[in-house]
Amino acid sequence: MVDFVRWSAENYPAEKYALVVWNHGASWYFQPEEQHKGISVDYDTGNIISISNGDFATMLEESNEILGQKLEVLGMDACIMQSWEIAYEAMPYANYVVASQDYEGYDGWNYEGTMADLVANPLMRGEELGASVGQRFIETGDRTQSTLDMSQFAALNSKMDAFAEAFLSETDTMVYQQAVERSYSYDGEWGVDHDLRGFLSTVVLRSDKEQIQQTAQAAIAVLDSVVTSNYTHDDISGANGLSIYTPPLHVEGLDYRYLQASWSDQTLWDDMLRRIFEHR
């Protein structure tokens, strides 16, 4: 992948770059085999760009070094890649992230439509390109696609840490489970990732703890500025642009890879999950 970025920059230099990663996507985890946790599986060799093991961040860091700048757009034309954990890894390396919260059809993005938009408006920013990807994708009958403004992502992380800290001080496993059950997941009731806005909105409605309510509402306010566009098909309800690891309490336990990843070292979300699962 890095060799491809180098070849592209040398042969087609540009003021702004968009890198689209294609093939199967598995969020940061998905399948039990470690080599299947990430994006772009090579079934001949078993290789994959792992998220939780750091391949993804290394790829983006080396790409930035080659380009001498951040990617204007990081796109993932693959299933279920629009999650907080993946965006967290991409935050230092991309201005905008475009991906789907749900499964994608085999045809992938509508490149014909989006490239026509880009030709018609070659000066468009990443936010506009992401909106075009989403709009043209949904026009083909696919399910959902959103764009994230990564300049706002650090502020979102700060608000989420404040929410997690409030939840740590007054752990309410019942409210957590209600929020999980009432928020969208691409795998329905069996999903371990859920829509972040839906989760936080349910907490605001169901919790009787003022600090938890206030910090959840503050996180929602910033999240709404992070998601610059969100296109969903009519049969999708509750996909607001970003998912996060929120396993229901009936699962065996938290994924150990999650607890060892960079986002767990640097944020409080995993600490909140640990406390909840200890008190279930």
The model's pLDDT over 223-273, given as tens digits with 9 standing for 90+, comes to: 999 999 999 988 788 999 999 999 999 998 998 889 989 999 999 999 999
pLDDT of residue 37: 65
Q: Quick one: 10 and 141 in the same domain?
A: yes
pLDDT tens across 131-141, in order?
999 999 999 98
Domain count along the chain: 2
Of 103, 133, 150, the residue at which a domain comes to its end is: 150
Q: Quick one: 34 and 142 in the same domain?
A: yes
Q: Quick one: 128 and 161 in the same domain?
A: no
Residue type (1 letter), 252: E
pLDDT of residue 257: 85
Class of residue 67 by CB neighbours under 10 A (exposed 0-12, middle 13-18, buried 19+): buried
| CA separation for the pair 242, 196 (Å, rounded) | 6
Q: Quick one: 30 and 120 in the same domain?
A: yes
φ and ψ at 94, to 5 degrees?
-145, 145
Of 150, 181, 205, the residue at which a domain comes to its end is: 150
Indicate the SS3 state at residue 167.
Answer: helix
Q: Which residues of the chain have pLDDT under 50?
A: 32, 35
Q: Quick one: 142 and 173 in the same domain?
A: no
Of 150, 176, 199, the residue at which a domain comes to its end is: 150
CB 257 within 8 Å of CB 29 = yes
Indicate the SS3 state at residue 72.
Answer: strand
Q: Quick one: 62 and 189 in the same domain?
A: no
φ and ψ at 50, to 5 degrees?
-75, 145
Q: Quick one: 10 and 130 in the same domain?
A: yes
241: containing domain: 153-278
Q: Quick one: 9 and 139 in the same domain?
A: yes
| CA separation for the pair 79, 54 (Å, rounded) | 19
Q: Quick one: 40 and 114 in the same domain?
A: yes
